[in-house]
Amino acid sequence: MPRATPVVGLVTSWPWTKREVAAGTLTRERAAERVESYVYGNVLVLAVVAAADSTTVQNGQAVLLVVGTAVSTFVAHLLAVSVAHRHGGHELRSSIRDSVPIATSGSLPALVLLAGWLGWLTPTAAILVGLASIVVRFVLLGSVVSHLQGERSTWKNVLIGVGLAVAALLVAGVKLVLTH
């Protein structure tokens, strides 16, 4: 199996993902569920970070909104998964595990916004770095998918990721316009 590049290795560094990729037990369907969760969580967090301003960074509200969005979306998804797999068992546990990217989508942006709240970054810098961190995650997604499928990443994967990042920015923009 091809070795992951260091960046892709960071993105897929969850222990269960590494074990499953190495063992070849991560099915296309399960990988697709993880990618869905990854995209969904990151689009919602992107919209929240894009709505932040200097005041919400300085009073800590931006951090709380990012964490609250990631956690509440994850909990809502867990509820939906538990209803869909009401008999429980291995399938339910796998679906829950595949939903973790929703919960983790806000981790880096929340830490960056926390740095802005603590005064380590200016509010504007915190917002821009928070947005950039999410956009970079989208740009790398094509490479991550290739890695999960046991393939080498190519420039085509990066271009697909750039297209995904643009689409995510548009979706987040629509969400901002309609909900703020």
Lowest mean pLDDT among 30-39, 86-95, 115-124, 156-165: 86-95
Distance in angstroms (rounded) separating the CA atoms of residues 54 and 47: 16
pLDDT in tens, 106-140: 999 999 999 999 999 999 999 999 999 999 988 88
> pLDDT at residue 3 above 90?
no
**Comparing C-alpha atoms, which of 111, 48, 114, 106 is closest to residue 74?**
106
Residue 60's pLDDT band, with cuts at 50, 70 and 90, is very high
Q: What is the DSSP string of 82-117?
A: HHHTTT-SHHHHHHHHHTHHHHHTTHHHHHHHHHHH
The predicted structure's pLDDT at residue 94 = 76
- Give Cβ neighbours of residue 1 (< 8 Å, ≥ 6 apart): 21, 22, 24, 150
pLDDT in tens, 29-50: 777 787 888 888 999 999 999 9
Residue 23's pLDDT band, with cuts at 50, 70 and 90, is low
- Give Cβ neighbours of residue 48 (< 8 Å, ≥ 6 apart): 62, 65, 66, 69, 106
Mean pLDDT in the chain? 81
Average pLDDT over residues 152-162: 85
End-to-end distance of the chain based on CA atoms, in angstroms? 46
Residue 156's pLDDT band, with cuts at 50, 70 and 90, is confident
Distance in angstroms (rounded) separating the CA atoms of residues 143 and 23: 19
Distance in angstroms (rounded) separating the CA atoms of residues 1 and 173: 39
The predicted structure's pLDDT at residue 26 = 64
Encoding tokens for residue 128?
A: 């821009």
The predicted structure's pLDDT at residue 133 = 94
The predicted structure's pLDDT at residue 8 = 37
Looking up tokens 């802005």 gives: 116
The predicted structure's pLDDT at residue 21 = 54
Annotated domain spans of the chain: 6-179
